A and B are shown apart, each in its own frame.
Chain A
């Protein structure tokens, strides 16, 4: 039997961070007292009517633009009918056969569609497990009911659990940078479901898929897909067939369990929502969405790699617009220094120094001006100060800001040059003070040189360049 290939598509629900709900004027909230953000409309009193949230439509258009989707000139809402206490109207208003956004792409993954809908209310099952089984009663919190959602559906273009999780991260960063959602998986403002199937490698046909739900972190997403792929492979290799079903991920032990079939057997009786008019975006709305589009992580990462940054650093920076902006300013100021080196300082030394300082300030919020970092990096590059001294200066900059050149001058950190004999004298003294180490080095034990280097560094208080010190010691030892 040919090797089985994984075929994965994702369905992502993004809660939009609008001021109010999708179809009424209630404020959005997270963590407030239950049922305080409700009104006759979102409680589905008799006679109420929905009115579509214009901001939600604009946010959806922004997402459509970021995902390079085709925008429908006229999209409509449908009713998805089902009885459940989390749905007070007993139908969800969603887009069905004409979504606001069609075919698009993010990175290597094609987008099938993106559509607007409303979130259900939150069910709280009273009891120890917090789950419906074995619970004595269920409570409904309608605060969340009616929150605007954009559901993004990909084509089945992903081929592995890690790839799926990495792409989901890219999508999260992309949506985050649009400023349209909190995209917090733990809080549920970003929910990722996966459609998973296997097929013989090289086959064009799709196997029967299962739908994986309730993976509320990227790690769980990866683990859930891994577990399901393993199950499907084992099943198929043993001659079995995959049954289409929805599986619930249990984060406690990483297992997947089918939802009760009763909840599955739905005929949603979709029909066009007669209470709403079609969404017909104007040219101006479309233009606004395009113009409001920031440079997105995928494009930014590509540009950084063209600037010579290694891929991992480029991706890291692109995912963090604040630090990326800081890096770009510093790189502009650092004449004659490669962008790659500046990026390493921003993501490495500066990030570490900020963490050590308490980690509260981002790069651009810190006291380290981009120009100051640029001149510090230049001094290290030009060997005016040692790398170690550079880190010392950076700590001072993080603590009190200022001009690195002045700090170097004040602290006497200027690098000792081999030319004036001062460093050479210290090296000679250090070799003499460590005869055993000197003997071992001469005998071929390269590691032993560390003791002598350490003595020199201690004497020079780190102002000497490590490479230069090494060279001088070897010279003195005649090797």
Chain B
């Protein structure tokens, strides 16, 4: 049984094709593994182990709770959607079910995908399988922890400013944010519509390519979806000969933890060893990415989250007053502090008289950042950075300082603003700044829009050369009872 779960999905599918493994048996083993969740990764699992398909033909998949699933609780990590069972299924999930993948369960996340530590979930934080006293990253923290912790063979998440790549980095797995428009957003609960993108969280690059090939495609229900020019194939190649890698000239090395910087430099050396060329390239506006992002994303969120009013579905707080008072009572009780913070930021940024100074200006910066990447890709095949400035940090460590929390997205946000694909692969282990056992470090590669195949091929070659094989099995055990859960109304999250 354990051996079966040690396989990557591509390997498991090969075994199934060879008649050595039954898809049903494989799915059953994963359901059993998922049932042993001690990380608070799952918010919902079917009673019969897996759901969606009668007889599985491919590996089961775990789904971030931001994807609507017909008849199955979908909360987006929020109290305001408690008890909500959508009347329809998201296109991405439907495609997985149609491909024969049973749904293992719905995964915990930061409320409405707002967060970088998963501590903003109304249903308690997810624990990092490497060290249960640390965060898994966010917002797709449940997805990353489930894959890294052996609770799912692969998972889907969403990335708005780094929500796939950063938790993948902190949990030592692969996370891919595809080009904006590659995968349908229909049925994916909106945070910031112009940035949100679905993507895979997997054990390796080949699994990411396989999952992407199932998910991608134009969807008539999503006008902004275009799909990829060609369905991705499994990555090939052992070297990086002739490929040029740009390191942003403005890369704020000082802001990077020494251990992370060391792994990053070592990875650059590996790239050179594989025949890749490395040089600095100017990305002068990228450093303003966070500022622009924290205007655009909250602005869109303030509008996207306005529908949660207690009238048609989800939670409703009773109030004695009129409908407006009922809205206010419902939203006051239903949203957590970070969501409220962003709704207020976004509402302000869009207000009459402030629009040009904030939203308008942020959109101009966004255009400049996209222009920086376009210019860089004239000379380079990829732009590379560390995925996150730090390894996994401690639970509660940054919840009192929203700005410190926002800086987690420093390296991932520019690609989101530019709409280009970026992947995080585990590149090694590093000691946290404050000392302690070594933790995974992610390496981010970004490619031009729709350059997924080249990106996957290069990431695969690099992954093979790095040979990251560490598992979180030796992580110290922290009992669940010892973890402070940040529920609604509690102050100090990020």
Please report A residues at the B interface, Cβ cutoff 8 Å: 40, 43-52, 79, 81, 83, 85, 88-91, 138, 140, 267-271, 274-277
Contacts and interface: CB of A to CB of B under 8 A. Distances in A.
B433 interface: no
B223 A267 contact: no
Contacts of A268: 352
Contacts of B87: 40, 45
Interface stretch (B189-197, B282-290, B395-403, B463-471): B189-197
B324 A83 contact: yes
Given A91-B303, A274-B300, A46 B189 contact: yes
The 7 A-B residue pairs with the shortest CB-CB distance, nearest first, are A90-B306, A269-B350, A274-B194, A274-B193, A47-B187, A46-B189, A47-B68
A51 B186 CA distance: 11
B6 interface: no
Given A45-B87, A91-B303, 17 more contacts: A43-B312, A45-B313, A46-B68, A46-B84, A46-B313, A47-B185, A47-B187, A89-B306, A90-B307, A90-B309, A138-B323, A270-B350, A271-B350, A274-B224, A275-B223, A275-B224, A276-B224
A277 B303 contact: no
B311 A48 contact: no
Most B CB contacts (10 A, CB to CB) among A45, A50, A52, A267 go to: A45
B86 interface: yes
A79 B303 contact: yes
Contacts of A270: 350, 355
Contact of A47 (B186, B192, B312, B350): B186
Chain B facing A: main interface SS: loop
B319 interface: no
A45 B309 contact: no
Interface of B: 66-68, 74, 76, 81, 84, 86-88, 90, 185-190, 192-194, 220-224, 299-300, 302-303, 306-309, 311-313, 323-324, 327, 347, 350-352, 355, 359
B340 to A, nearest CB: 16
B347 A46 contact: no
B88 A40 contact: yes
Contacts of B90: 47
A398 B473 CA distance: 95
B191 to A, nearest CB: 11
A13 B223 CA distance: 26
B432 to A, nearest CB: 37
A269 B224 CA distance: 22
B225 to A, nearest CB: 9
Chain A facing B: main interface SS: loop
A49 B307 CA distance: 13
B181 to A, nearest CB: 10
Contacts of B350: 81, 269-271
Most A CB contacts (10 A, CB to CB) among B67, B74, B190, B307 go to: B307
Contacts of B308: 46
A43 B87 CA distance: 11
B110 to A, nearest CB: 16
Contacts of B86: 40, 45-47
Most A CB contacts (10 A, CB to CB) among B306, B311, B323 go to: B306
A87 to B, nearest CB: 9
A135 to B, nearest CB: 11
A269 B344 CA distance: 13
B2 to A, nearest CB: 37
A275 B225 CA distance: 10
B352 A267 contact: yes
Contacts of A267: 351-352
15 contacts: A40-B87, A44-B307, A47-B187, A51-B220, A81-B306, A81-B350, A83-B324, A89-B307, A138-B323, A269-B347, A269-B352, A271-B300, A274-B193, A274-B194, A277-B224
B68 A52 contact: no
A271 B190 CA distance: 16
Contacts of B193: 274-275
A44 B84 CA distance: 13
B81 A46 contact: yes
Nearest to B190: A47
B224 to A, nearest CB: 6
A85 B81 CA distance: 18
Contacts of A91: 303, 306
A85 B323 contact: yes
A49 B313 contact: no
Given A40-B87, A88-B312, A274-B300, A46 B307 contact: yes
Nearest to A142: B312
Given A40-B86, A269-B351, A49 B309 contact: no
Contacts of A52: 223
Nearest to A90: B306
A45 B221 contact: no
B198 to A, nearest CB: 11
A125 B315 CA distance: 24
B335 to A, nearest CB: 14
A51 B300 CA distance: 18
A37 to B, nearest CB: 15
Contacts of B299: 271
A274 to B, nearest CB: 4
A47 B189 contact: yes
Contacts of B190: 46-47, 275
A138 B187 CA distance: 30
Most A CB contacts (10 A, CB to CB) among B66, B220, B352 go to: B352
Contacts of B185: 47, 49
B351 A83 contact: no
A89 B300 CA distance: 13
B65 to A, nearest CB: 11
Contacts of B324: 83
A277 B186 CA distance: 15
B197 to A, nearest CB: 12
Contacts of A274: 192-194, 224, 300
Most B CB contacts (10 A, CB to CB) among A47, A50, A275 go to: A47
Given A40-B87, A43-B312, A88 B307 contact: yes
Contact of A44 (B220, B312, B359): B312
A141 to B, nearest CB: 13
Nearest to A262: B324
Contacts of A51: 220-223
B306 A83 contact: yes
